[in-house]
Amino acid sequence: MSRPTPPTDAGELREALIELRDQIRLIGFADELPGAEEGRLAQADVLEQLTDFVLPRVGRTDAPLLVAVAGSTGAGKSTLVNSLVGEQVTTTGVRRPTSNSPVLACHPTDADWFNEDVFLPTLPRVRQQGLAMPGKDGLLVLAANERMPKGVALLDTPDVDSVVASHHEFASKFLDAADLWLFVTTSARYADARVWEFLQVARERNTSLAVVLSRVPPADQDKLVTHFHAMLDANGLQDSDRFVIPETKEIANGRLLGKTADPIKNYIIALADDPARRDVVSSRTFLGVLDSFRTRIPALAQQVEVQVAAERALAEQVESAYATALAEVDEDTRSGSLLRGEVLARWQDVAASGEILRSLRVSRGRRREAGHPRRASGRVQALDQAIRDGLEALLVAGAERAAEGVLERWRATPGGAALAATPELERSHEGLRRRARNAVSAWQSKVLELVTAEGLTKRSVAKFVSVDPETLSLVCMVGLLGFGSGQSGEGGAGAAPQRLLRALFGAEALRSIGDRARTDLRGRIGTVFEEEKLRFTQVIEGAGAPEESVAVQLYQATYTLEVTR
């Protein structure tokens, strides 16, 4: 096996890896949105291997080689570890109490390398005293033993196919932190899918691998070994070192008797005695992990993009619903549909009473004295209130329709149903009617301002006619709201406001007033809708999906890592 080419600058590589680790550590996923579970798994997978394996080994050629003894339930991993050490350091048996408290055996001079500051810093551990000492789940037992060769450590890991999910997840954590996998399976279990899932990970990451086929009946040894080796070759594991342990009952004190384990023990000793060979093994695994980041980090970025896309889809649904509602309300304010019911009745009352004509006074050379405006009649006030109430109801109905549309779309969108159930979204915002009322009142004041500042005072007819601006602004509003469009119920008589307004203002001035008044109304309605949308956008933002820039940063970090290497 040739030695892989190491990174050229360990300092630069460490900086790039630390930056990558910090970026990944800050990524948050929204539980409610698609990609959360997959994203967190990918995040934890890369982050743990960066923290537990890659960063501790950058530039550290003095690190002892960690051999993770892994494999199937009942494969004899603990028995093998005890046999390789030459002393019982871990408890054996299928139902052993240390099933999720791995034992790490090393020479005492190597023990400091495996303390909390260097090796798996987030994992609690205890020093073994005397013979095998069972630990607690999730606890690493550190067994320093003079029988172990310097420069190599053995780690007895939990079963990779344990029925307890936390056990095989724990096993994966230790395999990610190891330089060499010594994978043990039995003649009865070697074809199990779980075995090959782990071996496939080793192949994909180019991990240094040795495989042990244990408990092989002597009568079927040739056939079983041939088939197992063929499977290894077919799965791209031609370079793996291979060993066979025949089925035997010669076990005492948790160890294989005789020379059964000698080929594997000699293999471990050879690694310990040959720093160059040990370096080849560790470098291959180290660089294999770095190579795997070329796909694992983009895969993480893709899960970020899944969340970003889901968040964007929900936001677009909000935008679409309110844009549709705004367009509908805008159409309703033009088409004359608002001029029905109360508004139409109040307009007809004003028109039939002669109030409009009485608001026009022949000046006879003098104008109404400033500061003494004519007080609007009850009919005019009622029309003003009807327009205000009608527009307010139209605006509120549009906003509520948009909110219902958003919730309906969200419930049909992956990840949206949970957000749609947010209590704040189940009812209309308490300030909606107040904001709608203020927006309509402000618009009415704007129309009055336009009529007063841009209208009759600029025309020569003002020399002969004095007009009450409040009444005239109401006439202008009735015209702006589509009176005479055919939907207001007035037929041909509906053109009266427009004829009066054109006569007083002129077509060009009237068009200017109308355009500016409509723009102002649409803007005020839009502002109310924007405030309503905030309820939904705040829920989306509160879900905690990552920013779109996070995926870009991950892709950039992958590129930077490649350049640094």
Domain spans of the chain, in order of start: 10-61+275-305+548-565, 64-273, 336-545
pLDDT score at 549: 94
**The two structure tokens encoding residue 399:** 């906003």
Would you give the DSSP letter of residue 246? E
pLDDT tens-place string over residues 412-457: 998 899 999 988 887 666 789 999 999 999 999 999 898 887 655 4
pLDDT score at 369: 45
Beta bridge partners of 211: 183, 242
Look-up of token digits 């906003």 = 399
From edge to edge, which strands make up the β-sheet containing 103-106? 125-127, 140-144, 103-106, 152-156, 65-71, 180-186, 208-216, 241-246
pLDDT tens-place string over residues 368-426: 444 445 556 788 889 889 999 999 999 999 999 999 999 999 999 988 999 999 888 87
**Residue among 454, 455, 502, 472 at smallest CA distance from 383:** 472
Number of residues in the chain: 565
Q: Contact at 8 Å (CB) between 177 and 119?
A: yes
**Highest CATH level, class, for 64-273:** alpha beta
pLDDT score at 237: 93
**What backbone torsions phi and psi does residue 90 show, to the nearest 5 degrees?**
-140, 150
Q: Contact at 8 Å (CB) between 474 and 339?
A: no
pLDDT score at 485: 56
Query: Which residues of the chain carry a pLDDT beneath 50?
Result: 1-7, 95-99, 132, 135, 362-372, 457-458, 460-464, 487-495
**The two structure tokens encoding residue 508:** 């060009």
Q: Contact at 8 Å (CB) between 296 and 444?
A: no
